[in-house]
Amino acid sequence: MHYYSTNGKAPGADLHKAVVKGLAEDRGLYMPEKIKQLPKDFFDNIETKTFQEIAYTVADAFFGEDVDAESLKKIVYDTLSFDCPVVKIKDNIYTLELFHGPTLAFKDVGARFMARLLQYFIRQEGVHEQVNVLVATSGDTGSAVANGFLGVDGIHVYVLYPKGKVSPIQECQFTTLGQNITAIEVDGVFDDCQALVKNAFMDVELNQHMKLTSANSINVARFLPQAFYYFNAYARMKALGKAGNLVMCVPSGNFGNICAALFGQQQGLPIKRFIAANNANDIFYKYLQTGKYEPKASIQTLANAMDVGDPSNFARILNLYSQNGKLSAEDTHAAIIRLISGATFNDNQIRETMRHCYQDTNYILDPHGACGYQALVEGLKSGEVGIFCETAHPAKFKEKVDDILGINVEIPNRLAAFMEGQKQSIPMPKDFANFKQYLLRQ
């Protein structure tokens, strides 16, 4: 498959290049040139298929030209070693629980898939040189990427995180792993970690010394596999006889997850419409209202994985509905608002929603899922069935959830196991010279 850049000024790429580079040379995002329609008979009996079977069919449409069938099947089956159930909350509102992966984050799927795909390309090329993945994290991404790449031979991962600024649970998820994962504790803030990674990619001497790549969420191998979730949700709803008029509501930050759902719809997945649920970072919401996209600095909220002031995948959504720039800005906006509506909630509204939902239904929402739930409560029309994604297990935000609901959220065994491990990390000042010397010694 050929991938082109949303900025249209860089040469295209094959899948291998798109995965290794992440971002195109013109800083645009890679888009697949074709989106293959899945055949009608796939949907006719989709409810009889497993998550893995469904995902393999979807993956084949995206990646089948570039990866042989047997390898792709292995990659998909290895990635999806867990369930993603649809749970009824009340009336016509259901939740798609995306937090049953190894680090209880929906990002686990993209991270694992990318790790396996990169390993496939490395083996195919017969490269013996180690590939080094650098990732800066404020919490969730680091744990998903570290666990996704754990034990994958030929690849070493360096996770850079700000000292004292990630939650203890999150820190355990990438500092206790060992093997091919090195945690680097930077004496600074998240932006310093990001700057170190960016400087490393631009440093000529370092790039001659070692093969560097990123595992950023804009990578096609990280965002596209999230489409699997939505096909599976449709299948489970069809089994319940509830798939006729589906509204998919996705709590969004960088818009990678909802973008994958939109790609799924382009492949033929019967979703009637979408809702992008935001916290107080309402840039996309404002775009829907006004047609103007005005990025700004992010503000801190209770749903901090969605604290994004300039969502990177917005460029993909625009490109998709402008038909790669063929439509005017007005027509593109019109096409987008026909399909996607928005919602935005401040921290007080998030707290209220969590309390109401718990009182009403006994379901424990996390602050991200709360935005999705409330958007459906307010926005679902009669005859529609709504599904919102629960993007994080409430135990990951235990202090906040306990405080808001006055309960004691149980920590799942998988999360507790991380907390028993030995924390190992390399302390690092925030200036680039030290980091570079450290990498040159590896």
Ligand X SMILES: *Cc1c(COP(=O)(O)O)cnc(C)c1O
Residues that bind ligand X (CB under 6 A): 105, 107, 140, 251-257, 305-306, 368, 391-392
CA distance 297 to 312: 13
Of residues 47 and 307, the one with the C-beta less far from ligand X: 307
292 half-sphere exposure, CB direction, 13 A CA radius: 4
Among candidate residues 85, 107, 82, 54, the one with its CA nearest the CA of residue 391: 107
Of residues 160 and 303, the one with the C-beta less far from ligand X: 303
**Nearest distance from C-beta of residue 20 to ligand X, angstroms:** 21
**Nearest distance from C-beta of residue 272 to ligand X, angstroms:** 21
Of residues 223 and 234, the one with the C-beta less far from ligand X: 223
**Nearest distance from C-beta of residue 304 to ligand X, angstroms:** 9
Of residues 31 and 392, the one with the C-beta less far from ligand X: 392
**Nearest distance from C-beta of residue 185 to ligand X, angstroms:** 21
**Nearest distance from C-beta of residue 277 to ligand X, angstroms:** 9
**Nearest distance from C-beta of residue 397 to ligand X, angstroms:** 8
**Nearest distance from C-beta of residue 137 to ligand X, angstroms:** 11
**DSSP per-residue letters across 115-141:** HHHHHHHHHHHT--SPEEEEEE-SSHH
**Nearest distance from C-beta of residue 71 to ligand X, angstroms:** 26
Residue 48 CB contacts under 8 Å (≥ 6 apart), including other chains: none
CA distance 408 to 415: 15
Of residues 132 and 147, the one with the C-beta less far from ligand X: 147
For 1, 182, 254, 272, 380, the CA distances from 375, given in Å and listed in that order, are: 36, 39, 18, 16, 8
**Nearest distance from C-beta of residue 391 to ligand X, angstroms:** 3
CA distance 402 to 242: 33
What is the residue whose two structure tokens read 């006994």?
362
CA distance 209 to 177: 26
**Nearest distance from C-beta of residue 204 to ligand X, angstroms:** 32
Q: With contact defined as beta carbons under 8 Å apart, do 363 and 357 qualify?
A: yes
Of residues 249 and 428, the one with the C-beta less far from ligand X: 249
What is the residue whose two structure tokens read 């379901």?
363
Of residues 99 and 234, the one with the C-beta less far from ligand X: 99
**DSSP per-residue letters across 282-332:** -HHHHHHHHS----------SSGGG--SS-TTHHHHHHHHTTTTTS-HHHH
Q: With contact defined as beta carbons under 8 Å apart, do 134 and 121 qualify?
A: no
H helices within 164-226, ranges in order?
Answer: 168-175, 190-202, 204-209, 220-223
The residues with which 277 forms a beta bridge, in sequence order, are 251, 343
**Nearest distance from C-beta of residue 88 to ligand X, angstroms:** 21
Could you tell me how many helices (H) and strands (E) the chain has, helices first? Answer: 20, 13
Of residues 111 and 160, the one with the C-beta less far from ligand X: 111
Of residues 175 and 278, the one with the C-beta less far from ligand X: 278
Question: What token pair was written down for 150?
Answer: 């754990």
Of residues 95 and 132, the one with the C-beta less far from ligand X: 95
What 8-state DSSP symbol labels residue 47? G
Among candidate residues 216, 193, 431, 145, the one with its CA nearest the CA of residue 184: 193
Q: What is the three-class DSSP state of 214? A: strand
Of residues 101 and 253, the one with the C-beta less far from ligand X: 253
